[in-house]
Amino acid sequence: MTPGYLFDLFIINEVRKEKMSGRLDFEVEHDLDQQNGFYLREMGKYLLEISAGTRPGIFRKNKNYDVSVKETENANLIETLYKLYQRHSELWDLEDVRRDKNNTDKERLAAADRVSIVNKKRNDLVEQIDEVIKSDLSKIKLPAPPVN
């Protein structure tokens, strides 16, 4: 697991809350908030471990599908996180089209085909987040934590 993957999970929850605003039970929204708190805490641990060299910062998925589909690379973490948020929002909307029985088969199939492309780009963004974080953390050296 990497920070990019944790950001991915965090953003999925945020998109879910946005898209289902007003339709989520209090308990569900509270659970999503608790999950996000866990992800943030784990991100902090991971960042410290990566900067200390005790955790790898990147785990490549090495997927061989849609090799011609690539997300534009960006070394700006905030822009990459925002792009990941946009991809998840787009996936949510495409999945709504794909599931809606009122749409024609052609519309539903087009949405399903687009899901594959957007999901590949989402995976690229998760890896880019890991690359940016690893690169930024490699520029600093944190002192070793005190031994108890």
Instruction: Check pLDDT > 70 for residue 116.
Output: yes
Residue 115 lies in a domain: yes
Q: Is residue 147 part of a domain?
A: no
Residue 19 domain flag: yes
Chain-wide mean pLDDT for the chain? Answer: 89
Of 139, 137, 129, 10, nearest in space to 60 by CA: 129
Evaluate whether residue 42 is within a structural domain: yes
Q: Express as a percent the part of the chain with pLDDT over 70.
A: 89
Domain tally for the chain?
A: 1
Six token digits for residue 3: 């920070």
The answer to whether position 31 is within a domain reads yes
Which residue range forms the structural domain that includes residue 93? 3-57+66-138
Among the residues of 20-146, which ranges form H helices?
26-52, 77-99, 105-138
**Is residue 56's pLDDT more than 80?**
yes
Residue 148 has pLDDT above 80, yes or no: no
Q: How far apart are CA 88 and CA 6, in angstroms?
A: 14
Alpha helix (H) ranges present in 1-25?
Answer: 3-19
Question: How many residues are given for the chain?
Answer: 148
